[in-house]
Amino acid sequence: MSKSLVAQLPTGPAEPAQRVPTDWTTGAMQGRIRRRYAAERRFRLMGLAAVTLSAGFLAFLLATMLWQGIGGFTETRVTVPVDLGAAKLAVTPAQLDGRGADLALAGAGLEGIVDTSASRAYGKDGDNLLSGGAWLTVREAIKADPSLLTRRATFDLPVASPIDVAYKGKGAPEAEAMVARLTPRGVLSRSLNTGFLDSADSTDPTRVGIWGAFKGSLLTMLVTLLLAFPIGVLSALYLEEYAPRNRWTDIIEVSINNLAAVPSIIFGLLGLAVFLGTFGLPRSAPIVGGLTLALMTMPVIVIAGRNAIKAVPPSIRDAALGVGASPIQVVFHHVLPLALPGILTGTIIGMARALGETAPLLLIGMRAFIAAPPRGLTDPATVLPVQIFLWSDQVDRGFVEKTSAAIIALLVFLLAMNGLAIYLRNRFETRW
């Protein structure tokens, strides 16, 4: 190659013009620096105050709920001597083996015997002392140990709701008097209310349980998640990656944004009209609740999903296309994994909102009184927030702490769900 024409870099800087150096020490300059620091400090303090305030509110909420609700997980029991041997129940040991045991014991008048025993031990209104379901405790004990039928034994039986409330410290006058009478005798005790964790709604606050509503919520959320997540993610992917930009997709985009802002009760009306009215699905069923809430959750997932997909750098798409990945491989190998944390964040928000939703579920019949936990997706069921709503409406004072206890159960559900989602999100998070 002969002499190249390639330009040489200019040599040396041009002579700088004479200029006065900036004086960084003048009063105005110092004032500006001070103001800058003050602004920073102010901003930090405001942020800190905001965080403290919200953390404080949260702590206050949790503390009051725990304080009021923890009693709902316990029950008061009274010691009652029952002389089953003397009562001579007309039940043969053979009857106690089979499925007929419950019927046989009820038919033999076990309930009356337990009530009489209570009256005998604690005076005239002793039978008002016991919960309506107290004799069931005796029944289960007999089934476990038939020899009880031939002797005298003492049982710790759950007390009636007014006594329970009074014993826990805020009852009606006559119940308070009864508790005052019994306490010195040392027959009242507190224990964990296992019934609360494994039964469903009841008219008697000592016999209500959270399991029915918990399972209802679980089934409903399952349906919601299984529908809203895949459909939401696929819609987001389609709209971002494949759909052409035209008037139709603009309309769809606006509709989805509006849908996310529609009051939830409207979705309830829609569910009522479409799922119950048109498709004839059963009332109060988790499947209908799940479908309705999925309609509500989907837009949230779509919006969050689209934003997460948009945030995936185009250079990654180029890189994948550049080595010959097909569009669908680009999406599933690169875009989706990178967008997943953002999608999951949106899903957490949507699902948390669905879990706490009451209004739309009232409309599709989930406010009915349902005394048995649902066994499937089409069984009548209720959900935790509706259960809370129903119990908070009860006049019986025994329901007050049950309401708070149900709120605790709802919060536990929420925390478990979010914890799982956050765990998944962190697992999929890619470090850049």
Partner 1 sequence: MSNTPPKMTASHVTVHYGTKRAIDDVSIDIDQDEVVAFIGPSGCGKSTFLRTLNRMNDTVASARVEGDIRLDGHDIYAPDMDVVQLRARVGMVFQKPNPFPKSIYENVAYGPRIHGLAQSKSDMDGIVERSLTRAGLWAEVKDRLSDSGTALSGGQQQRLCIARAIAVDPEVILMDEPCSALDPIATAKIEELIHELRGRYAIAIVTHNMQQAARVSQRTAFFHLGTLVEFGRTSDIFTNPRQERTKDYITGRYG
By rule CB under 8 A, what count of residues binds partner 1? 29
Amino acid letter, residue 192: L
Minimum CB separation from partner 1 for residue 391, in Å?
A: 49
The yes or no reply on residue 333 touching partner 1 (CB under 8 A) is yes
Q: Which stretch binds partner 1 (CB under 8 A): 85-93, 197-205, 311-319, 417-425?
A: 311-319
Which position among 64, 92, 194, 326 is part of the footprint of partner 1 (CB under 8 A)?
326
Binding string, 336-375, against partner 1, x = CB under 8 A?
--x-------------------------------------
The torsion defined by the Cα of 45, 51, 52 and 54, in degrees rounded to 10, comes to 140
User: Cβ neighbours of residue 421 under 8 Å, at least 6 residues apart?
Assistant: 344, 347, 348, 351
101-123 per-residue burial string, b: 16 or more CB within 10 A, e: under 16: beebbeebebbebbbbbbbebbe
- CA atoms in the 13 A half-sphere facing the CB of 306: 17
Give the three-state DSSP class for 259: helix
Q: Tell whether residue 19 is a contact of partner 1 (CB under 8 A).
A: no
Residue holding tokens 């494994």?
Answer: 198
Options 18, 22, 278, 430; binder of partner 1; rule CB under 8 A:
430
315 binds partner 1 (CB under 8 A): yes
Options 163, 208, 303, 320; binder of partner 1; rule CB under 8 A: 320
| Residues between 215 and 254 that touch partner 1 (CB under 8 A) | 244-245
Question: How many C-beta atoms lie closer than 10 Å to residue 233's C-beta?
Answer: 24
> What are the CA-CA distances from residue 301 to residues 98, 128, 270, 352 (Å)?
52, 54, 20, 12
Taking the C-alpha atoms of residue 299 and residue 348, their distance in angstroms, rounded to an integer, is: 13
Residue 5 binds to partner 1 (criterion: CB under 8 A) = yes
Choose one: 79-87, 150-158, 302-310, 315-323; the region binding partner 1 (CB under 8 A): 315-323
Q: Indicate the residue among 2 and 278 with the shorter CB distance to partner 1.
A: 2
Which residue type sits at 191? Answer: S
318 touching partner 1, by CB under 8 A? yes
Backbone angles phi, psi at 18, to 5 degrees: -65, 130
Considering only 334, 353, 397, 425, the residue that binds partner 1 (CB under 8 A) is 334
Q: Kindly state whether residue 427 participates in binding partner 1, applying the rule CB under 8 A.
A: no
* Residue 325 near partner 1 by CB under 8 A: yes
Does the footprint of partner 1 cover residue 1 (CB under 8 A)?
yes
Residue that the structure tokens 């008097």 belong to? 177
Q: Classify residue 286 by burial, with Cβ atoms within 10 Å: 0-12, 13-18, 19+.
A: buried
**Residue number, 334 or 353, with CB nearest to partner 1:** 334
Q: How far is the CB of 315 from partner 1 (least distance, A)?
A: 4
CB of 215 to partner 1, least distance (A): 41
Q: What is the C-alpha R_g of the chain? A: 33
Instruction: Give me the least distance between CB of 327 and partner 1, in Å please.
Output: 9
- Applying CB under 8 A, among 141, 321, 352, 424 the residue interacting with partner 1 is 321
Which residue's CB is nearer to partner 1, number 22 or number 246? 246
Q: State the minimum distance, in angstroms, from the CB of residue 5 to partner 1.
A: 5
- Helix intervals (H) in 70-125: 84-87, 93-97, 101-107, 110-122
Sheet holding 152-158, edge to edge: 152-158, 74-83, 188-192
Q: Which is nearer to partner 1, 211 or 428 (CB)?
A: 428
- H or E segment and range at residue 341: helix 336-355
Residue numbers 128-157 binding partner 1 by CB under 8 A: none
Stretch that binds partner 1, among 121-129, 260-268, 333-341, 364-372 (CB under 8 A): 333-341
- The residue among 4 and 25 lying less far from partner 1, judged by its C-beta, is 4
**Alpha-carbon dihedral 76, 81, 87, 89, rounded to 10 degrees:** 50
140 vs 318 by CB, closer to partner 1: 318
Q: Where are the beta strands (DSSP E) in 134-187?
A: 152-158
Pick between residue 27 and residue 324 the one whose CB is nearest to partner 1.
324
Closest to partner 1 by CB, 283 or 333 = 333
Strand partners, 77: 158, 189
List contacts with partner 1 (CB under 8 A). 1-7, 244-245, 313, 315-326, 329, 333-334, 338, 430-432
